[in-house]
């Protein structure tokens, strides 16, 4: 039996971009589905359940932001990796992307070889994480299960997008240890991925909104830590 292919969904209204990405992804051995608008992408995501989604922001029928928001509401898609592809480089666009659960953000024009390297690195990190990390952290009121990407605070299950979950998991692994933004970027996003330091701040804010602001503390001029003082 052959090795199982990773599943990737490409959603973009520019057909030439879709075809270029399909060609390069299939050449790398990925199973690929495509769509030309956000609504169709959402319909395919519900059935195909891709592990990774490449999605344009500005599209007809349903834009990428709304499509991403609804994809994150699919239980089986909460751990999928979602990358926005866009010609818009404004900061508010990047923040909006992360606010609805995107994991990464790439400015067009796309360089296929660099993108394939980025995607391959992502799946290598996923494999390494599964091999090297403990599945469950139990700390105070929290049960953080990496095998199912679920978080329970006492009897309440809290849903977090993939990168928010991984950020919380990483901090909770070493409670009270302070991590700088650059260290968090390298550990969660990888050194081969170019994202700005504010990406960490946006994700920290989103995690705090869902679990309570008291658990992840800011150490001024240094970074962030998972605070055990509120876990007793």
Q: Return d(Cα 78, Cα 63) in angstroms, integer.
A: 19
The model's pLDDT over 93-149, given as tens digits with 9 standing for 90+, comes to 666 777 787 888 788 888 888 888 888 888 887 766 665 556 888 888 899 988 778
Select the highest-mean-pLDDT range: 30-34, 194-198, 199-203. 30-34
Q: Does residue 121 sit in helix, strand or coil? A: helix
Contact of 225 with 177, CB cutoff 8 Å: yes
pTM here? 0.68
The model's pLDDT over 66-80, given as tens digits with 9 standing for 90+, comes to 999 999 888 888 888
Cα dihedral 93→71→109→36 (10° resolution): -120
**Closest C-alpha among 123, 88, 84 to residue 100:** 84
> Greater confidence, 190 or 157?
157
> Greater confidence, 78 or 56?
56
- Locate 61 and state its tokens: 């029928």
Q: What is the structure's pLDDT at 202?
A: 86
Neighbours of 87 (CB within 10 A): 12
Q: What is the structure's pLDDT at 1?
A: 45
Q: Does residue 60 sit in helix, strand or coil? A: coil
Question: Looking up tokens 């609504």, which residue turns up?
Answer: 39
Mean pLDDT within 62-91: 84
Q: What is the structure's pLDDT at 32?
A: 97
User: What are the structural domains, with CATH classification, of the chain?
Assistant: 7-129 (3.40.50.2300), 133-230 (1.10.10.10)
Rg (CA), the chain: 18
């Amino acid at each position: 039996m052959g090795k199982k292919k990773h599943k990737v969904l490409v959603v973009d209204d520019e057909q030439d971009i879709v075809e270029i990405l399909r060609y390069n992804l299939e050449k790398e051995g990925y199973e690929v589905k495509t769509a030309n608008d956000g609504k169709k992408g959402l319909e395919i995501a519900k059935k195909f359940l891709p592990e990774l989604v490449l999605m344009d922001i500005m599209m007809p029928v349903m834009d990428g932001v709304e499509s991403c928001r609804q994809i994150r509401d699919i239980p089986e898609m909460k751990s999928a990796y979602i990358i926005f592809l866009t010609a818009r480089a404004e900061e508010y666009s990047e923040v909006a992307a992360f606010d609805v659960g995107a994991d990464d953000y790439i400015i067009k024009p796309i360089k296929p070889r660099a993108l394939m390297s980025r995607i391959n690195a992502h799946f290598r990190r996923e494999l390494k994480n599964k091999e090297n990390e403990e599945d469950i952290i139990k700390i105070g009121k929290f049960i953080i299960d990496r095998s199912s990407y679920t978080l329970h605070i006492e009897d309440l299950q809290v849903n977090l997008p993939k990168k928010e979950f991984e950020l919380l998991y990483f901090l909770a692994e070493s409670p009270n240890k302070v991590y700088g933004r650059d260290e968090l970027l390298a550990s969660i996003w990888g050194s081969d991925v170019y994202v700005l330091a504010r990406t960490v701040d946006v994700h920290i804010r989103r995690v705090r909104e869902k679990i309570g602001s008291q658990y992840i503390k800011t150490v001024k001029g240094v970074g962030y830590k998972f605070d055990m003082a509120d876990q007793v």
